[in-house]
């Protein structure tokens, strides 16, 4: 750690000194070389800098009700009591080239933001921002107590008590057995912890223009993330259930593990210096960016509340006995667990760019960026469990002490990655025809060494896993996989008629990968878009005359619109993309047409691993019919229709429909399709007096389906020649199942702001808004075939309950001007949030009955989000001067 800090300090010092030199030299050079002073160097005759500002302060009441209300303040701070929420100060004068603006929002709250902007027009600008973002996860309860950075401990007495009542893992933990009873009893007095983070960010940016054609900038940003967040470690144990098929296959898989607090104390420091030079027809620039990520807590150690002594997992039977009767028991039996936290890393990036206006209508440009990422944090030991003896699991293992870092094949990764980005473009813009061609390339070149490990501590840190025992002799090594992505695209935009524009684009995307399922992808996509625009106003003949006379390049900008002109716009946009994987690499599983034990009225085929199977190194060990969605062949249809009616400069109505569908090969496993559709409608109207009304509605539907398979353990009864060694073994097609998720989100929002300019309400301002966001997720699972009798329970098709999340937001604000510069007002904010999600409804540790099964020994902290109602009432005074 000290080394890292020193290193950071050195780099900081060096960079600061050098940057200072740059700025000083530029300043010095500018003046020494006798640049002709601008007229603005002359002092203005009057320097009456004026100060204007606004400050808003008041008091706030907040009442939040619900079981787990942390969601309300998930990423904000809504304090009770006195506040200063808005502070704006402007030092500005028409007689001075200088200006200073200071902004403060929600000052002294956990989400405060302070900004400063100092500028000398045309010369330099100094910006400073301080911003805080809180992140609250809720209140958790745990036996673990932080005793040092990255170290969480549990009372030895408690651990001894719990270990004493821990039963052997051969049977499922009884709901009201001694262990759960004791855990629940002890938890009543366990301390609560507010689990939360805060991200603080400071940014300083200095821009300097020694002349109108040179821009130099320097930026330092510093990001600190501190606090805790929930994290977990765990495994599972196998519980045989009488009558559940094969003793070792049927039954339950009981979760066992521990949720803890991940300590966060991270810094990211970023230095950026660059310059752009411009001529009349060209621009060129360069930038250097140094980004340093530093984690002050390099690892996390927590104590297992259930252990005071290390223990090894239950050993499998030695050959020739069946190996599976015991291997999945007595896991998570370590006293201490050590997790690696994100390692320190460095990034150096240098970027060059240039553009040239070949003609007034044609521009060529290029951008080249070279980034170099490195990471070399020392490795942690495999385990802290002193009871693990690797040779018990792998007779020829060379490892004698897995707790000793000296036995690691390397002491650190010395990881290096080179990231090269290139972009080249040619753009032409004539009056009615625009053309663009572009090439982009991203090359991630992984230069990290490949390290072969003889094994590692697995299964809850209680056993040893080696290549021979679990990976078909494939080496346990990190792969220096990398990729290159290239895009070649070209397109044009043609104003066919004054009212019609046609846009067409073609894109060829190429992926080249190393050590993944697909080494090369080609995707071709074609996009067509038609834009219609009709003038429906009474003066359309005149407008059309003007427009046609000057070609469509004179179409009014999509900004302020003339009064009394009604415009109707249609947009049709469609993209078709076809991605193909040249080859999908799979492991050489063996096809069996009549798999033993197949159900009578279902498929009898299967893919299995036999003793003759030789696995391919470098390919993922997976079912050979699986196709991963990010690599495999895909057809994409992406279309949208937009309608927009603009009446004058005040009224706007728009509606759109958008469909995005990804279709995959239905003959394989994995994602079969992913379809989304979006409907949006928006209406806005601005009144004469500046008041306005808006309403929006959107409906988003997402529907995806994937095919999966419940495969079997290695079958100890398999005949010779069909023996499988590892855990990937038998894939009976009969155990195929398919799952769909149909997700729907309705969003509705409307609001009105009323600011009468005359009459008795002249000094009042009213604001009301309402928003509703309602989401529902329906999951269905279908197993089209009879399930094999020897399948684990999950081969069946059990439904999931729907997930519902609803949020409403009601805001009412009233303010009245008391006298010039003084306003008094009040706000009321009501936010009900409803969440019904089976994944989060019950996370209390060791609470049985609400969960159907399988989590009795997973010790959660119960820091989570739930439903709530929150009311916030605010009174404020706004003073402007």
Partner 1 sequence: MLDHLDKTPRIFITARIAATIVAALLTALSLTVWWQNTPSTTAKIASATRITAPSESTQQNVIGRDCQQCHKLVVQTFPLDAHGKSAKFLTDSRAASCEICHRNSEKHAETSTRTKMGEPADSPANPSARETNDACLTCHSRDNTHFTWTGGQHDRNDMSCLSCHSIHHAKLLGTISSDFGDKPESEMAELINTRLPEHLLSRSTVEETCLGCHVEQRKALFQRSTHLFRTELRNMKVGCTSCHNPHGGEAGKMLAEYTVNNLCYTCHAEKRGPFLWDHPPVRENCLNCHSPHGSNNPKLLTARVHLLCQQCHIHMLPRHSTTAGQALDIWSINRGCANCHGQVHGSNHPGGRTLTR
Cis ω on the peptide bond leading into residue 320 (within 30° of 0)? Answer: yes
Query: Could you tell me the two tokens for 204?
Result: 């300083």
Give the β-pairing of 626-627 and 669-686: parallel
Give the β-pairing of 151-153 and 192-211: unpaired
CA distance 792 to 735: 10
Taking CB under 8 A as the rule, which mask of x and - marks residues 574-613 in contact with partner 1?
----------------------------------------
Query: Residue by residue, what is the 3-state secondary structure of 23-58?
Result: HHHHHHHHHHCCCCCCHHHCCCCCCCCEEEEEEEEE
Query: Could you tell me the two tokens for 686?
Result: 């601005």
Out of 146, 198, 205, 283, name the contact with partner 1 by CB under 8 A: 283
Q: Which of residues 734-753 bind partner 1 (CB under 8 A)?
A: 737, 739, 741, 743, 745, 747, 749
Binding of residue 456 to partner 1 (CB under 8 A):
yes
CA distance 812 to 790: 62
Task: From 184-192, 313-321, 577-585, 777-785, give the range in contact with partner 1 by CB under 8 A.
Answer: 777-785
At its nearest, how many Å lie between partner 1 and the CB of residue 221? 9
> Do residues 728 and 716 touch, judged by C-beta distance below 8 A?
no
Q: Which of residues 391-410 bind partner 1 (CB under 8 A)?
A: 406, 408
Which of 505, 541, 540, 539 is CA-nearest to residue 525? Answer: 505
User: Which one, 476 or 814, has the nearer CB to partner 1?
Assistant: 476
Q: Which of residues 28-47 bind partner 1 (CB under 8 A)?
A: 29-30, 33-36, 38-40
3-state secondary structure of 407: helix
The rounded radius of gyration (Å) of the Cα atoms in the chain is 33
> Do residues 613 and 590 touch, judged by C-beta distance below 8 A?
yes
> Do residues 736 and 785 touch, judged by C-beta distance below 8 A?
yes
CA distance 302 to 153: 6
Neighbours of 844 (CB within 10 A): 15
Binding of residue 378 to partner 1 (CB under 8 A):
yes
Binding of residue 384 to partner 1 (CB under 8 A):
no
Out of 569, 636, 647, 658, name the contact with partner 1 by CB under 8 A: 658
Q: Using alpha carbons, list the distances in angstroms from residue 515 to 225, 409, 628.
A: 34, 22, 14
**Helix segments in 460-517, DSSP class H:** 467-470
User: Which one, 254 or 311, has the nearer CB to partner 1?
Assistant: 254
Binding of residue 556 to partner 1 (CB under 8 A):
yes
Task: From 169-177, 185-193, 265-273, 314-322, give the range in contact with partner 1 by CB under 8 A.
Answer: 265-273
Q: Which of residues 306-325 bind partner 1 (CB under 8 A)?
A: none
User: Which one, 17 or 148, has the nearer CB to partner 1?
Assistant: 17
Strand order in 606-608's β-sheet? 590-592, 606-608, 730-732
Out of 64, 141, 276, 575, name the contact with partner 1 by CB under 8 A: 276
Task: From 146-154, 176-184, 319-327, 791-799, give the range in contact with partner 1 by CB under 8 A.
Answer: 791-799
User: Which one, 190 or 843, has the nearer CB to partner 1?
Assistant: 843
User: Which one, 161 or 402, has the nearer CB to partner 1?
Assistant: 402
Residues forming a β-bridge with 17: none
At its nearest, how many Å lie between partner 1 and the CB of residue 415? 3
CA distance 678 to 407: 56
At its nearest, how many Å lie between partner 1 and the CB of residue 160? 26
Out of 175, 398, 838, 875, name the contact with partner 1 by CB under 8 A: 838
User: Which one, 163 or 674, has the nearer CB to partner 1?
Assistant: 674
DSSP 8-state secondary structure symbol assigned to residue 378: B
User: Which one, 604 or 654, has the nearer CB to partner 1?
Assistant: 654
Out of 145, 522, 727, 871, name the contact with partner 1 by CB under 8 A: 727
Query: Could you tell me the two tokens for 391?
Result: 């040779």
Binding of residue 693 to partner 1 (CB under 8 A):
no
Q: Kindly determine how many residues on this chain lie close enough to bind partner 1 according to the rule CB under 8 A.
A: 264
At its nearest, how many Å lie between partner 1 and the CB of residue 211? 5
User: Which one, 161 or 327, has the nearer CB to partner 1?
Assistant: 327
Binding of residue 389 to partner 1 (CB under 8 A):
no
> Do residues 33 and 25 touch, judged by C-beta distance below 8 A?
no
Which of 607, 624, 758, 637 is CA-nearest to residue 691? Answer: 758
Q: Which of residues 474-493 bind partner 1 (CB under 8 A)?
A: 476, 478, 481, 483, 485, 491, 493
At its nearest, how many Å lie between partner 1 and the CB of residue 52? 4
> Do residues 305 and 331 touch, judged by C-beta distance below 8 A?
no
Binding of residue 423 to partner 1 (CB under 8 A):
yes
Taking CB under 8 A as the rule, which mask of x and - marks residues 215-244 in contact with partner 1?
xxx-----x------xxxxxxx-x------
Query: Could you tell me the two tokens for 456?
Result: 């590692």
Query: Could you tell me the two tokens for 631?
Result: 């690599």
Q: Which residue in this structure is represented by tokens 């020739």?
A: 320
Taking CB under 8 A as the rule, which mask of x and - marks residues 134-173 in contact with partner 1?
----------------------------------------
Binding of residue 534 to partner 1 (CB under 8 A):
no
């Amino acid at each position: 750690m000290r080394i890292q800090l020193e290193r950071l300090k050195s780099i900081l010092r060096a960079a600061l000194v050098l940057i200072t030199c740059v700025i000083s030299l530029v300043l010095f050079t500018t003046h020494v070389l006798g640049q002709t002073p601008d007229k603005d160097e002359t002092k203005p005759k009057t320097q009456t800098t004026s100060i204007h500002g606004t400050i808003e302060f008041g008091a706030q009441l907040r009442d939040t009700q619900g079981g787990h209300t942390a969601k309300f303040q998930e990423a904000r701070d809504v304090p009770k009591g006195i506040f200063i929420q808005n502070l704006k100060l402007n030092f500005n004068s028409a007689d001075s080239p200088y200006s200073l603006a200071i902004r403060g929002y929600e000052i002294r709250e956990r989400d405060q933001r302070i900004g400063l902007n100092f500028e000398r027009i045309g010369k330099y600008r100094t910006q400073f921002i301080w911003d805080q973002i809180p992140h609250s996860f809720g209140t958790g309860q745990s036996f673990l107590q932080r005793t040092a950075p990255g170290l969480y401990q549990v009372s030895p007495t408690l651990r001894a008590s719990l270990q004493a009542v821990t039963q052997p893992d051969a049977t499922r933990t009884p709901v009201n057995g001694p262990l759960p009873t004791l855990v629940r009893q002890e938890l009543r007095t366990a301390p609560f912890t507010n689990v939360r983070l805060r991200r603080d960010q400071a940014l300083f940016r200095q821009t300097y223009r020694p002349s109108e054609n040179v821009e130099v900038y320097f930026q330092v940003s510093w990001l600190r993330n501190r606090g805790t967040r929930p994290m977990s470690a765990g495994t599972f144990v196998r519980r045989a259930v009488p009558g559940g098929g094969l003793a070792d296959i049927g039954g339950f898989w009981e979760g066992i593990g521990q949720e803890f607090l991940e300590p966060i104390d991270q810094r990211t420091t970023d230095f950026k210096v660059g310059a752009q030079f411009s001529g009349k027809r060209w621009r060129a620039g360069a930038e250097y960016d140094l980004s340093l990520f530093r984690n002050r807590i390099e690892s996390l150690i927590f104590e297992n509340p259930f252990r005071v002594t290390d223990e090894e997992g239950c050993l499998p039977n030695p050959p020739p006995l069946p190996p599976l009767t015991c291997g999945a028991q007595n896991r998570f039996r370590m006293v201490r667990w050590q997790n690696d936290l994100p390692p320190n890393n460095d990034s150096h990036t240098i970027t060059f760019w240039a553009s040239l206006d070949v003609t007034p209508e044609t521009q060529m440009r290029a951008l080249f960026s070279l980034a170099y990422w490195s990471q070399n944090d020392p490795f942690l030991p495999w385990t802290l469990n002193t009871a693990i003896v690797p040779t018990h699991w792998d007779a020829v293992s060379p490892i004698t002490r897995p707790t000793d870092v000296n036995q690691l094949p390397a002491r650190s990764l010395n990881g290096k990655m080179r990231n090269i980005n290139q972009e080249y473009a040619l753009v032409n813009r004539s009056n009615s025809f625009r053309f663009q061609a572009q090439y982009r390339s991203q090359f991630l070149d992984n230069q990290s060494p490949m390290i072969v490990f003889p094994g590692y501590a697995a299964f809850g840190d209680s056993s040893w896993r080696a290549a021979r025992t679990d990976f078909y002799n494939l080496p346990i090594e990190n792969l220096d996989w990398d990729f290159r992505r290239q895009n070649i695209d070209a397109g044009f935009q043609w104003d066919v008629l004054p009212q019609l524009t046609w846009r067409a684009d073609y894109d060829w995307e190429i992926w080249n990968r190393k050590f993944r399922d697909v080494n090369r992808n080609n995707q071709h996509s074609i996009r067509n878009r038609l834009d219609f625009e009709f003038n429906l106003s009474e003066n359309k003949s005149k407008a059309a005359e003007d427009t046609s006379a000057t070609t469509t390049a004179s179409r009014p900008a999509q900004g302020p619109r003339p009064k009394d002109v009604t415009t109707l716009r249609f947009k049709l946009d469609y993209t078709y993309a076809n991605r193909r994987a040249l080859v999908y690499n799979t492991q050489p599983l063996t096809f069996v047409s009549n798999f033993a034990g197949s159900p009578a009225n279902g498929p009898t085929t299967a893919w299995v691993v036999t003793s003759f199977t030789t696995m391919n190194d470098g390919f993922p060990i997976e079912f050979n019919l699986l196709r991963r969605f990010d690599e495999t062949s895909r057809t994409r249809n992406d279309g949208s229709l937009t309608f927009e009616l603009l009446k004058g400069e005040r009224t706007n109505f728009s509606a759109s429909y958008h469909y995005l569908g990804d279709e995959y090969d239905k003959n394989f496993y994995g994602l079969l399709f992913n379809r989304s559709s979006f409907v949006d409608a928006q209406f806005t109207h601005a009144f004469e007096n500046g008041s306005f009304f808006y309403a929006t509605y959107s409906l988003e539907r997402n529907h995806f389906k994937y095919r999966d398979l419940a495969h079997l353990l290695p079958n100890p009864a398999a005949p010779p020649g069909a023996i499988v060694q590892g855990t990937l073994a038998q894939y009976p097609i009969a155990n195929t199942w398919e799952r769909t998720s149909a997700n729907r989100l309705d969003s509705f929002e409307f609001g009105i702001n009323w600011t009468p300019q005359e009459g008795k309400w002249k000094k009042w301002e009213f604001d009301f808004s309402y928003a509703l966001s309602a989401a529902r997720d329906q999951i269905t699972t279908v197993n089209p075939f009879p399930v094999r009798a020897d399948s684990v329970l999950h081969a069946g098709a059990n439904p999931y309950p729907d997930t519902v999340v609803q949020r409403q937001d009601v805001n009412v604000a009233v303010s009245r001007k008391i006298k010039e510069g003084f306003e008094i007002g009040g706000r009321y904010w009501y936010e009900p949030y409803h969440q019904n999600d089976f994944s989060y409804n019950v996370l209390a540790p060791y609470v049985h009955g609400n969960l159907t099964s399988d989590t009795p020994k997973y010790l959660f902290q119960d820091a989570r989000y739930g439903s709530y109602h929150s009311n916030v009432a605010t009174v404020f005074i706004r003073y402007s001067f």
